[in-house]
């Protein structure tokens, strides 16, 4: 049986896999509140589920996950663990270099946390300036189109957080961690203090939900995850060629 998790392989098993220069896949997420119906690890749990489905189709080896991201906007709420963007960028740069030196053929960053995207972009671009090692950064390809095609509710000023979208993905991948009896609908008033200043989202939303989590279903989540994986595989194969 094929092993996909690097942490479960011996050095001999890894050496054997490296003979084919497989793709290294690094799930990234966050540890932050997601309303009263979803766990704090939602972003990393979704990234891991996404990464596994990709690995099964592209000869992937999944690296141990990065469970912390830039979660400043929730930092005063219980359980949130946040790291600075420079810390995240330094970590990613070191992981990319290690993956190249180890003999992987490519590294794919699979992200489940929107606020990690900027750090990913900067690191990938800077690494490309001095190395031909291919690195692909993925969030959710064609997110807006996929969400509009499968979700009934709108976003809060473009934000997806503990809403119909994320809750549906969790119902499809980790239904045992979702408590739909606590799912709510909340669209807080727009906040100039957040948009143009340093207001935290924890001070804007009462529930921690930005959208309508009550409309989430596992069927919607499966349809969206299937689309994301198909698109991700196409992107990866294009970069590999």
Q: What pLDDT, on a 0 to 100 scale, did the predictor assign at position 185?
A: 98
Q: pLDDT grade, residue 178 (50/70/90)? A: very high
Q: Is the pLDDT of residue 59 over 90?
A: no
Work out the average pLDDT over 161-179. Answer: 98
Q: What is the distance between the alpha carbons of residues 147 and 40, in angstroms, rounded to a whole number? A: 22
Chain-centre distance of CA 109, in angstroms?
9
Q: What is the pLDDT of residue 79?
A: 96
Give the end-to-end CA distance of the chain in Å, rounded to a whole number. Answer: 27
Read off the pLDDT of residues 73-109 as tens digits, 9 standing for 90 and up: 999 999 999 999 999 999 999 999 999 999 999 999 9
User: Does residue 1 have a pLDDT over 80?
Assistant: no
The 3 state secondary structure assigned to the chain is CCCCEHHHCCHHHHHHHHCCCCEEEEEECCECCECCCECCCHHHHHHHHHHHHHHHHHCEEECCCECCECCHHHCCCCCCEECCHHHHHHHHHHHHHHHHHHCCCEEEEEECCHHHHHHHHHHHHHHHCCCCCCEEEECCCCHHHHHHHHCCCCCECCECECCHHHHHHHHHHCHHHCCHHHCCEECCCCCHHHHHCCCCHHHCCCCCCEEEHHHCCHHHHHHHHHHHHHHHHHHHHHHHC
The fold adopted by the segment(s) 6-240 is Rossmann fold (3.40.50)
Q: So where are the chain's domains?
A: 6-240
pLDDT class for 55, splitting at 50, 70, 90? Answer: very high
What is the residue-averaged pLDDT of the chain?
96
Looking at residue 2, its pLDDT comes to 83
Which pLDDT belongs to residue 227? Answer: 98
Task: Tell whether the model's pLDDT for residue 24 goes beyond 80.
Answer: yes
Distance CA 95, CA 157 (A): 34
- pLDDT tens string 202-224: 999 999 999 999 999 999 999 99
Mean pLDDT of 30-50: 98
Whether the predicted model's global pTM rises above the 0.85 cut: yes
Confidence band, pLDDT 50/70/90 cuts, at residue 199: very high
């Amino acid at each position: 049986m094929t092993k996909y998790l690097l942490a479960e392989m011996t050095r001999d098993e890894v050496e054997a896999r490296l003979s084919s220069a497989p793709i290294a896949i690094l799930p990234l997420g966050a540890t932050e509140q997601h309303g009263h119906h979803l766990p704090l690890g939602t972003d990393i749990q979704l990234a891991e589920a996404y990464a596994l489905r990709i690995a099964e189709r592209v000869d992937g080896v999944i690296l141990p996950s990065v469970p912390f991201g830039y979660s400043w906007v929730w930092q005063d709420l219980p359980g949130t663990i946040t790291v600075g963007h420079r810390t995240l960028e330094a970590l990613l740069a070191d992981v990319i270099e290690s993956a190249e030196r180890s003999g992987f053929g490519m590294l794919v960053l699979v992200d489940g946390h929107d606020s990690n995207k900027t750090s990913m972009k900067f690191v990938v671009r800077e690494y490309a300036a001095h190395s031909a090692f291919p690195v692909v950064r993925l969030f959710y390809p064609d997110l807006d189109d996929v969400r509009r095609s499968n979700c009934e509710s709108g976003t809060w000023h473009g934000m997806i957080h503990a809403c119909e979208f994320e809750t549906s993905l969790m119902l499809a991948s980790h239904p045992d961690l979702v408590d739909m009896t606590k799912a709510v609908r909340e669209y807080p008033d727009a906040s100039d203090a957040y948009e143009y200043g340093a207001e935290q989202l924890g001070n804007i939303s009462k529930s921690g939900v930005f959208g309508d989590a009550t409309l989430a279903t596992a069927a919607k989540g499966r349809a969206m995850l299937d689309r994301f994986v198909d698109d991700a595989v196409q992107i990866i194969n294009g970069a590999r060629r």
